[in-house]
Structure 1
Amino acid sequence: MSRVWHISGANTGLGLELALKALSEGDRVIAAVRSPAKVPEELKREDVKILQFDLSQGQAEMDEYAKKAFEAFGKIDVLVNNAGYAYLGAVEESEDSATKTQFDVNVFAMLRIIRAMLPHLRSQGSGLIMNLSSVGALGGFPSNGIYCATKFAIEGFTQAMAAEIKPFGISTVIVEPGYFRTAFLKDPAAGSNLAPTIAAYEGTIAHEARANFEKYNGRQPGDPKQAANRMWEYAADEGLFKGKEKLIRLPLGTDTGGVMKQLSEDLAKTVELYEDVWKSTDFKE
């Protein structure tokens, strides 16, 4: 039987590639997009339902949206929470209102759509929730701290949710892409996504990183088509995942793999070097 995918941000980048991959495998897609008029021609077909989807919607609106989404094809097998953006700049340069908007779009909107979808997924007794995180959830990077913090938050609640929803036959995975050759870095300054500068940071790693974001566009190592292939295979138990244990993290990209290896080494070093420290703080019964 074909699967039904609900993909937010399905009109561009990784979301679009995943939608096209699913369709090529005979699945159906609910393309949740902010601007239906901008949906590419390849998604205008009978096995795609295009729904207007706004991350700023409150919980009541999300609940109504979820009803419409499930009515489109009668079920949703894979809920892909992909839409989001990056607010860039050093932590001191970040502004409170822009930081709150970053968290509302990347974290709270994801929570709202999950809350709206879960009653329906529980009712059907199955489903996979794919939450898009990032290599930035494995470590905070200069001039990317606020964005990374949103991805840390996604990792935290997804890990908790995995245990909570398992009794209902629902699973979840944290997808951790590195830098892929999409339009994500095309124009960082667009839409007030770049914090105002503080002169004191000129010549430091924070502003070097800031200047490199746009220069890196088009040179990212990751192929979005291959990322989409792996995501589909994870959900379908096919390809590289056939017969393989399903872990809660799905790292994509050699850059993510490298950072993950370094993090595991750092954690092992910390737990070993500070063993006397962490053992010293319990009550002596």
Structure 2
Amino acid sequence: MDKTIALYSKSLTEKTTAGLIRVIDTLYDKGITIYLNIMDPDGHHFDQDHRVTLFTELNDLPADVCMILSVGGDGTFLETAMRVRSAGIPVAGINTGRLGFLANIPVEDLDQSTDLICSGQYELVNRSMLEIASPADLFGNGSAMALNEITIQKADQSMITITVRVNGIFLNTYRADGLIISTATGSTAYNLSVGGPILSPADDSIIIVPMSPHNLTIRPIIVTGSSIITLEPGGRSSHCLVTCDSKAVRVPAGIILKVRQSDERLSTVTTAGNDFFSTLRNKLMWGADPRN
């Protein structure tokens, strides 16, 4: 197959290394040209593997790269997404980790999935992302991006208060451990663990869901993707913690943060048998009878 595919992998544990070698074996046997980026180099010496060309920056890739494969778990997928989001190249996730909603192709299905990908038998899902901006430029370049979620939460044991406005209209002052602003993609991540709703990944909506609110009538709310969400943290503490996926920064209380949907989209690959609803059933064991 006359294809060029780039691989991204993160820290090379024994399991991840074995999975990555299996991916390289499969692609190489199919005649695919392979480029490889190890984001945290250690372990296996892939610089001695003649089957791959190592690269560091996205600009190092040739123009004919047709797809990027993230090899690892969802954390690896998130980091890969942030590195390649501006390239416009579809991303697929090969799961060598645990749950794997984003890295939804099991390494055991790699051979079949590779055949489907290389023959064009897949669908693309354009996923929305969030960006957060602050007047103090706390995140560098004026804003930071997230594929899953942006959270604002307490930095110590004291409860945090967060005043929220949507398009300038007052929504609520939350008294809680924190607040999650989630994309549809992130609806199966942190949002799910605190009781938020699950959205199909192509949905443009934004979910606002509190963490352990001090008011039992408070519930998650879904707003349109065009909404601008203004957050003003307060409370007894002088600082709070803001996260964008796995990145975190301490910010002073009273600062005003604005969250909106990014103009960028991440194009992800779905193959037959690894669609979103199949992943939900398999990962969450829907329909399984625990008595059996």
Please give the range of the TM-score, normalised by the shorter of the 2 chains: 0.3 to 0.5
Return the structure number with greater strand share: 2
Give the alignment's TM-score, normalised by structure 2.
0.36
Return the structure number with greater helix share: 1
